[in-house]
């Protein structure tokens, strides 16, 4: 009897290991104010080392920067089209950027793992 293989999209959304798609990359919830940035060293299910070389996750900064840039562009277009004042833009943009920081941090790391990790290929033997 074979188990159902999790899809790559659901695994990315739920922050699961790229190799087994079962183990959690982060030990805490994104809503944990003091623990959202903690990353497991190894997958609790298959043992994959997430940061396979020192500084690997520094590349995630570029992905996080792209997330922030997209949000700024969207708000810029909205502000121009709705004729918002600078105070209104700041009142909406600053809290929005603070609220999405944990998600930007986590998903930039997850996308980097799924795109560039040498051991990212799914392996059924770990399911």
- Give the domain range for residue 74: 8-126
Q: What is the pLDDT of residue 2?
A: 55
Residue 2 lies in a domain: no
Q: Tell me what the pLDDT averaged over the chain comes to.
A: 87
Q: Is the pLDDT of residue 32 over 90?
A: no
Residue 64 lies in a domain: yes
Distances (CA, A) of 6 to 10, 22, 29, 126: 7, 8, 20, 12
| Number of domains into which the chain is organized | 1
Residue 71 · residue 96 · CB < 8 Å: yes
Structure pTM? 0.81
Each residue of 44-98: pLDDT tens digit?
998 889 888 888 888 899 999 999 899 889 888 988 899 988 898 889 888 988 8
Residue 50 lies in a domain: yes
Residue 1 lies in a domain: no
Residue 36 lies in a domain: yes
Residue 87 lies in a domain: yes
Residue 18 lies in a domain: yes
């Amino acid at each position: 009897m074979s188990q159902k293989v999790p899809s790559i999209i659901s695994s990315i959304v739920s922050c699961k290991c790229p190799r087994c798609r079962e183990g959690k990359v982060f030990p805490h919830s994104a809503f944990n104010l003091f623990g959202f940035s903690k990353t497991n060293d190894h997958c609790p299910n298959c043992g994959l080392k997430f940061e396979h070389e020192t500084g690997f996750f520094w590349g995630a900064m570029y992905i996080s920067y792209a997330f922030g840039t997209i949000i700024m562009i969207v708000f810029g277009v909205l502000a121009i089209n709705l004729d918002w004042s600078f105070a209104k833009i700041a009142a909406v943009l600053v809290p929005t950027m603070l609220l999405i920081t944990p998600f930007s941090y986590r998903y930039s790391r997850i996308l980097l793992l799924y795109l560039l990790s040498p051991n990212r290929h799914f392996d059924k033997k770990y399911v």
